[in-house]
Structure 1
Amino acid sequence: MMFVSPAYAQAAAAGGGSFGALEQFLPLILIFVVFYFLLIRPQQKKMKQHKEMLGQLRRGDRVLTAGGIIGTVNKLINDTEVSVEIAEGVRVRVLRTTITEVMSKTEPVAADKAPATADKAKDDKSDAEPAADK
C-alpha cells in the first residue's frame, strides 16, 4: 500500500505575456536609469567642460598638467600640443589633453579694446562737427 498521494503540477496563471516580460526587465531598466544619472551624465558634463577649457587656452595662461607640473603657456603649437614654460628658459611640449586645470587666465588681447576706443573717438568727432557748423 502506498500512502503517498500523487502531486499534480498547477497550471500557470494566465497573464499578459508582454507585461510579464516587461516586469522581468523593469529592475534592469531602473538600474540603467540610475547609472545614467549618477555616473554617465556627470562624466559627459565634466568632459565637455574640460574640452571647452582646452579650447579657450591662450598664451600666458598659468596651467597645471596631469603630472603635477605648473607652468605658463608659451605657445599654442597646434590643436594637440602646447609649449609650456615650467621655469625661466625651460620650455616643454605637452599634449593639450594633459592640462587638467587653468589656474589663472590672462587678460584679453588689447586689440579687442582698440576698436572700442576708435569708435568712441569717431563718435566724439561726429558730435563736434555739428557744433562747428552752428
Structure 2
Amino acid sequence: MFISNAYAAAPAASGIMGSLTQFVPILLMFVALYFLMIRPQMKRQKEHKLMVEAVTRGDEVVTSGGVLGKVTKVSDVYVSIEVQEGTELVLQKSAITTLLPKGTIKSL
C-alpha cells in the first residue's frame, strides 16, 4: 500500500552492433600499442641486425658494456676487438651497439 510496484524497464535491443561497439575501444588500444611500441622496436632490431652483419675488419665499435675497440677478426657469430695494443677481446656480434666513425678511438 505504501510501496508502489516497481516495473522493470524493458531490456534494450542489443543486437550484434551493441556487442561489437564494446570491443572497438579494446581493438583501438591494440592497434595503438602495435604502432607505438611493437613496430618501432622491430625496426630497431632490424637496423641493429643489418649493422652487425656489416661489421668488417678495421671498424671501430662500442660494445654493450661500453668498451671501445677496433675489429680485428670477424666470424659468423663472434668478433675480436683490439682494446689497446696487445689486448684483444672476443665477443658475440650481438654485443656491438654502435659503429664509430674511423679515427674516433685515436682522437680520444
Normalising by structure 2, we get a TM-score of 0.89
Report the count of equivalent residues: 103
Give the deviation of 1:58 after TM superposition.
0.2
Which residue number corresponds to residue 101 of structure 2? 104
Which one has the bigger helix percentage? 1
Instruction: Measure how far apart 1:104 and its partner are.
Output: 2.2
Aligned partner of 2:25 among 24, 27, 40: 27
What SS does structure 2 have at the residue aligned with 1:59? coil
Quote the residue 1:36 is aligned against: 34
The separation in 2 between residues aligned to 1:32 and 1:9, in whole angstroms, is: 37
1:14: Cα distance to partner? 1.5
Distance apart, 1:40 and its partner CA? 0.7
Supply the distance in 2 between the matched residues of 1:105 and 1:31 (Cα, whole angstroms): 45
Of the two, which has the highest radius of gyration?
1
Percent identity (aligned): 48
Higher strand share: 2
1:91 corresponds to which of 88, 91, 108 = 88
Uncovered stretches (5+) of structure 2, i.e. residues with no partner:
104-108
Choose which of 52, 55, 68 in structure 2 pairs with 1:54: 52
Q: Which residue of 2 aligns with 1:122?
A: none
Tell me what 2:70 maps to: 72
Question: Which 4+ runs in 1 deviate beyond 4 A?
Answer: none
**What secondary structure does 1:101 align onto?**
strand
What's the Cα RMSD here?
1.4
Residues 1:18 and 2:9 aligned together: no
Q: Which has the higher contact order (CA 8 A, sep 6+)?
A: 2
2:61 aligned residue: 63
Relative to structure 1, the CA distance from residue 105 to residue 43 in structure 2 (aligned partners, 3 Å threshold; closer, same or farther) is: farther
Residue 21 of structure 1 and its aligned partner are, at CA, apart by: 1.8
C-alpha distance in 2, partners of 1:42/1:95? 24
TM-score (ref. length: structure 1): 0.72
